[in-house]
């Protein structure tokens, strides 16, 4: 076994600081293993959220050496251990304690998005028919584990704190999964333009880079949604026809 140094953020919303720890590590350990070892041997009051330890629940999101990552999927042998490994909480959400943040805002946002509204079944046999390629198109978005790393790295939420005006990349993925579903008939472009604030996204692709499920958030979800908003509200030909219809 070898020793590794860690700087772990300790404190609450009222204030805190990084504390230094050293612990033994072994082959195959991930950052979450080391944090648990520190918790067990040196800091029993260290607050850390986790669940599956398999990269599927999204609970152990944090910032490791300044990059939003899942602690359970970040192997220590991939990090430069000649200097301390810095572990701190996500920045886009209110701090509860130590490495735990309050992500409840995300669930309130999800409740506000219009639900799936299927078209009536085919008259011939009472079933819904669709093409396989249409099904495949939205399957990518179903992989989201709601770790909220994309929300954390998004500058609109992280730097500008526009939580009341912008739903963030995770929920643009959710809206895209609904909008692109071959059976859905609900209209969400008005909300995308106004309440959801899709215009604030300047497609830096930072959300795509941090996604542990490798969802192509920007290219496959956000840009197509932006195009739908532009087509409906800013296309001059459509606006002309709409004026004649009215």
Whether residue 35 has pLDDT greater than 80: yes
The first and second tokens of residue 92, run together, are 């886009």
97: part of which helix (H) or strand (E)? strand 95-97
Q: List residues bridging with 61 in a β-sheet.
A: 70
The first and second tokens of residue 71, run together, are 């602690």
How large is the average pLDDT for residues 122-140? 83
Long-range contacts of 219-225 (CB under 8 A, 24+ apart): 220/140, 220/141, 220/176, 221/141, 221/169, 221/172, 221/173, 221/175, 221/176, 222/169, 222/172, 222/176, 222/198, 224/176, 224/180, 225/172, 225/175, 225/176, 225/179, 225/192, 225/198
Least confident of 127-136, 139-148, 221-230: 127-136
Least confident of 98-102, 137-141, 218-222: 137-141
Q: In what order do the strands lie in the sheet with 61-64?
A: 15-25, 2-12, 85-88, 61-64, 67-70
Encode pLDDT of 98-124 as tens digits.
999 999 999 999 999 999 999 888 877
Whether residue 242 has pLDDT greater than 70: no
% helix, strand, coil for the chain, step of 5: 40, 15, 45
Whether residue 133 has pLDDT greater than 90: no
Q: What are phi and psi of 36, to 5 degrees?
A: -65, -35
Distance CA 47, CA 39 (A): 8
Q: How much is the pTM?
A: 0.90
């Amino acid at each position: 076994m070898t020793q590794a140094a860690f700087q772990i953020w300790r404190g609450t919303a009222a204030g805190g600081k990084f504390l230094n720890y050293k612990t033994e590590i072994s082959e195959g350990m991930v950052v979450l293993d080391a944090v648990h070892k520190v918790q067990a041997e040196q800091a029993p009051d260290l607050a850390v959220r986790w669940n599956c330890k398999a990269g599927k629940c999204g609970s152990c999101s944090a910032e490791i050496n300044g990059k939003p990552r899942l602690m359970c999927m970040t192997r220590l042998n991939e990090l430069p251990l000649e200097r301390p490994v810095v572990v701190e909480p996500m920045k886009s959400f209110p701090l509860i304690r130590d490495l735990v943040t309050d992500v409840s805002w995300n669930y309130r946002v999800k409740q506000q998005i219009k639900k799936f509204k299927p078209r009536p079944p085919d008259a011939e046999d009472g079933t819904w028919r669709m093409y396989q390629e249409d099904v495949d198109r939205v399957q990518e978005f179903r992989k989201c584990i709601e770790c909220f790393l994309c929300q954390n790295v998004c500058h609109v939420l992280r730097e500008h704190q526009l939580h009341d005006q912008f739903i963030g990349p995770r929920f643009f993925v959710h809206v895209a999964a609904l909008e692109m579903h071959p059976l859905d008939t609900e209209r969400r472009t008005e909300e995308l333009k106004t309440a959801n604030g899709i215009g604030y996204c300047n497609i830096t692709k930072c959300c795509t880079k941090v996604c542990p499920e490798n969802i192509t958030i920007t290219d496959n979800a956000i840009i197509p949604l932006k195009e739908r908003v532009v087509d409906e509200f800013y296309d001059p030909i459509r606006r002309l026809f709409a004026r004649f219809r009215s």
